[in-house]
Amino acid sequence: MPSRSSNPGGASRVRRRALLGTVVLVVLVALAGLAAYLTRDSRTPAKPAPQPSSSQSSFSTPSPSGPPTVTTRPRTLPVPPKTTDPISFGKAAAAALWSYDTRAYSQAELRRALCAWLTAEVKYADAASVDRGIPSAVLWKEMAANGQFATATVNEGHFPNAFTRALQEDPGAITQAYIYAVTVSGKQTIAWKGSPAGGAESRSTTLAVQCRPHQPCTLAGVMPSSCPESRSRKEVPPWTSAAFR
């Protein structure tokens, strides 16, 4: 009777399956390790970017409540801004009119600089109202002997009620001259040799600002009072009828 023997073919197949399973397991473990190594940096939390210190920042961000305060600097002649916003231009013009520096330029140079702010339309330009705000040549000489200068800080600008009412009653009236009345308030600080701190006083004035469409604003004139209705008919400048009706 023949003796029993194991099936060599079946055993071989079992060994091959076991070996194949081991190889697959090793490969999977290796791939998992490689993936963990490659993705290690992406799992590391990024360090927060350092915030700039106050010494690193050279510009301040305007507050959401409105544009920054306009402040003049001594020793510089006023240059009109390139803006189409009548209130922004009015604030800049008021700062220019409230400022001077007898140490840096002459009275004639200041007059020429301020004339550059005026509209080129002679019909509406009231140069005399600007001249009234400049110290006379004689007074300028006396102030220059003391090294006197003035700086201005403008805090607020708005359309006066009289202008707003007139615009509401006749919106098309402004399209003739495009002149806006702008009332500006702020402070003027005056200083001189031996008194660098000086003293400050509140200022308020109403300006006529011409802002034609697609053109930079210009200055038409200056009212000595923020209430144009209080002026007599003889004192009314040429642009008043275009700004107030």
| pLDDT tens digit sequence for 34-67 | 344 444 444 444 333 333 333 332 222 233 334 5
What number is the average pLDDT over the span 126-141? 94
pLDDT number for residue 58: 26
| Per-residue pLDDT at 91 exceeds 80 | yes
pLDDT, residue 23, reads: 42
Distance (Å, whole) CA 112 – CA 223? 20
Residues 164, 168, 170, 175: what is their CA dihedral angle, to the nearest 10 degrees? 60
Query: Which pLDDT score is estimated for 194?
Result: 82
* Backbone phi, psi, residue 66, to 5°: 160, 180
